[in-house]
C-alpha cells in the first residue's frame, strides 16, 4: 500500500508547478503567490493546466517503474512530474530556454523524458492512445517485463483512435493500462452534450476490456485501483482501463477565465479538491507537521525552478536548423 504522505507530496509538487506556470504565462514570475505582475509572460504559446486532477497522476504513477512507458495529453505536466521528470528542465521548456527538454523549441505540449519512460505529451487529442499501444506491442515482442500506460481525457473517447487503440490492445493481448481522466468537459464544452452512453468504461467493457471506475479526486482510491490493474497487466492478463472521474479547476488554457462554465459546477469541483481532501485526512491522522513540511518543500523547490528557468539562456539561432529533416539528403539531423 502506497504511503498517503508520499502521494500527497506528489500532488502538492504538481499543484505548485502548475500554479507557477500559470502565473508565468499570464505575466511573469513576480506574481507567483503574490499580486499580479506587469512583467511580460514567460511562457510562450498555449498552456493547458491539470489543476484539480493531481490525484489521478499521483495515484497511477506511484505504481510504475522507470522502465514502464507512458504517454500523456496536452494537459500533461502532472503525469510528467509524477513519472519522475525533472521540473527544472520542464519549466525551462515552458519558458523556451535552451536547457529545456526539447531545447526550448517544443513547449508545454511536447515534453518527453525517455530516461524515466515518459514518451511524451501530445497536442493532438487521442493521439497518445495508439502510441501507447504501439509501445506495448514493442514491449511484448521484445519480451520485456514492463507495461505501457496511456492517459487521455473524456473528450478523446469520441475520436477514432480511442476505439482503434482499445480494439488492437484486446486483439493482441497487450500490456497496456488506459487511464481516462474524465473531467466532464471537452475543451470548452460539457462532455455530456456530445458523448452518447455511459462513457469510457462502458465502451471498454463492450470490447471485452475490463474497466474500473473510481473517484479521481480520492488519491487513495485511485492508488488502490491502479495498483490492482497494473499488477494484472504486468502479470500478463492483458489490457485494462481505469476510468477516473475528476475535475478541471481552470479554463481550457491558462489565460481562459472559463466564464462559459456553470459557476455552481465549478464551486462543487473546488469543494471536492483532492489536495484539500488528502490534507484533511493526513491532519486527522496526526500528520500536520509532515503536511506543512511537504508544502514548504514544494514551494521552495518550485520557486528555485522558476528562478533557474528565468535565468536560463534562450536557444541560439543555429538551433532552428537542428532536429529537423533534411529533405534533400533524406537523413535526419
**Residues facing 178 on adjacent strands:** 150, 241
Block residue for cell numbers 523524458: 113
pLDDT tens for 98-134 read: 999 999 999 999 999 999 999 999 999 999 999 999 9
Block residue for cell numbers 487503440: 165
pLDDT tens for 165-223 read: 999 999 999 999 999 999 999 999 999 999 999 999 999 999 999 999 999 999 999 99
pLDDT at 193: 92
Pure H helices in the chain: 4-27, 54-61, 77-82, 87-94, 128-142, 160-171, 200-206, 219-234, 263-271, 274-284, 288-311
**Residues facing 185 on adjacent strands:** 190
Mean pLDDT for the chain overall: 93
pLDDT tens for 162-174 read: 999 999 999 999 9
Contact 19, 80 (CB under 8 A): no
What's 267's domain CATH number? 3.40.50.970
314 in any annotated domain:
no
CA distance 181 to 7: 17
60 in any annotated domain:
yes
Residues in the chain: 333
CA distance 119 to 63: 17
Best CA proximity match to 179, nearest among 141, 220, 144, 128: 128
- Residue 93: count other Cβ atoms within 10 Å of its Cβ: 25
24 in any annotated domain:
no
Q: Can you give the pTM of this predicted structure?
A: 0.93
Best CA proximity match to 29, nearest among 40, 16, 13: 40
The residues, ordered by sequence, that sit 6+ positions from 247 with a Cβ below 8 Å of its Cβ are 52, 53, 183, 184, 216, 217, 269, 270, 272, 273
Structural domain containing residue 56: 4-10+52-73+116-282
CA distance 307 to 29: 8
**Residues facing 212 on adjacent strands:** 242
Contact 71, 286 (CB under 8 A): no
CA distance 332 to 325: 5
- Kind and range of the H or E element at 152? strand 148-153
Three cell numbers, residue 13: 509538487
CA distance 176 to 212: 14
99 in any annotated domain:
no
Average pLDDT for 286-301: 98
Residue 69 pLDDT > 70 = yes
Contact 10, 61 (CB under 8 A): yes
241 in any annotated domain:
yes
CA distance 322 to 133: 29
62 in any annotated domain:
yes
CA distance 234 to 216: 22
Three cell numbers, residue 273: 479538491
Cα angle at 18 between 13 and 22, to 5 degrees? 150
DSSP 244-306: EE----S-SSTT---TTS-HHHHHHHHHT-HHHHHHHHHHHTT-HHHHHHHHHHHHHHHHHHH
21 in any annotated domain:
no
271 in any annotated domain:
yes
Residue 34 pLDDT > 50 = no
Percent of the chain at pLDDT > 70 equals 94
pLDDT tens for 51-65 read: 999 999 999 999 999
Number of domains in the chain: 1
Q: Is the dihedral of CA 71, 156, 92, 295 positive or negative?
A: negative
**Residues facing 179 on adjacent strands:** 151, 242
**Buried b / exposed e along 277-286 (16+ C-beta atoms within 10 A):** bbbebbeeee
Helix axes 4-27, 288-311, angle to 10 degrees: 40
Amino acid at each position: 500500500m502506497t504511503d498517503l504522505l508520499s502521494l500527497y507530496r506528489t500532488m502538492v509538487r504538481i499543484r505548485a508547478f502548475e500554479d507557477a506556470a500559470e502565473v508565468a504565462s499570464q505575466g511573469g514570475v513576480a506574481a507567483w503567490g503574490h499580486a499580479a505582475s506587469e512583467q511580460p509572460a514567460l511562457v510562450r504559446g498555449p498552456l493547458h493546466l491539470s489543476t484539480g486532477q493531481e490525484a489521478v497522476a499521483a495515484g497511477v504513477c506511484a505504481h510504475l517503474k522507470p522502465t514502464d512507458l507512458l504517454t500523456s495529453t496536452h494537459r500533461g505536466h502532472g503525469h510528467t512530474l509524477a513519472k519522475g521528470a525533472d521540473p527544472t528542465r520542464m519549466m525551462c521548456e515552458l519558458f523556451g530556454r535552451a536547457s529545456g527538454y526539447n531545447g526550448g523549441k517544443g513547449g508545454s505540449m511536447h515534453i518527453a523524458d525517455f530516461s524515466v519512460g515518459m514518451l511524451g505529451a501530445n497536442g493532438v487529442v487521442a493521439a497518445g492512445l495508439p502510441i501507447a499501444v504501439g509501445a506495448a506491442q514493442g514491449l511484448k515482442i521484445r519480451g520485456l517485463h514492463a507495461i505501457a500506460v496511456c492517459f487521455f481525457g473524456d473528450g478523446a473517447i469520441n475520436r477514432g483512435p480511442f476505439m482503434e487503440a482499445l480494439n488492437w490492445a484486446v486483439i493482441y493481448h497487450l500490456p497496456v493500462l488506459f487511464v481516462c481522466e474524465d473531467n466532464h468537459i471537452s475543451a470548452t464544452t460539457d462532455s455530456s452534450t456530445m458523448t452518447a452512453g455511459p462513457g469510457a468504461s462502458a465502451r471498454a467493457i463492450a470490447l471485452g476490456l475490463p474497466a474500473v471506475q473510481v473517484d479521481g479526486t480520492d488519491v487513495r482510491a485511485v492508488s488502490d485501483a491502479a495498483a490492482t490493474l497494473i499488477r494484472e497487466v504486468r502479470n500478463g492478463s492483458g489490457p485494462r482501463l481505469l476510468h477516473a472521474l475528476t475535475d478541471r479547476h481552470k479554463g481550457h488554457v491558462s489565460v481562459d477565465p472559463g466564464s462559459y462554465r456553470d459557476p455552481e459546477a465549478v464551486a462543487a469541483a473546488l469543494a471536492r479538491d483532492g489536495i484539500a481532501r488528502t490534507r484533511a485526512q493526513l491532519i486527522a491522522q496526526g500528520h500536520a507537521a509532515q503536511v506543512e513540511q511537504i508544502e514548504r518543500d514544494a514551494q521552495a523547490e518550485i520557486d528555485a525552478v522558476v528562478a533557474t528557468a528565468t535565468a536560463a539562456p534562450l536557444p541560439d539561432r543555429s538551433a532552428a536548423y537542428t532536429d529537423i529533416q533534411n529533405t534533400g539528403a533524406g537523413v535526419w539531423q
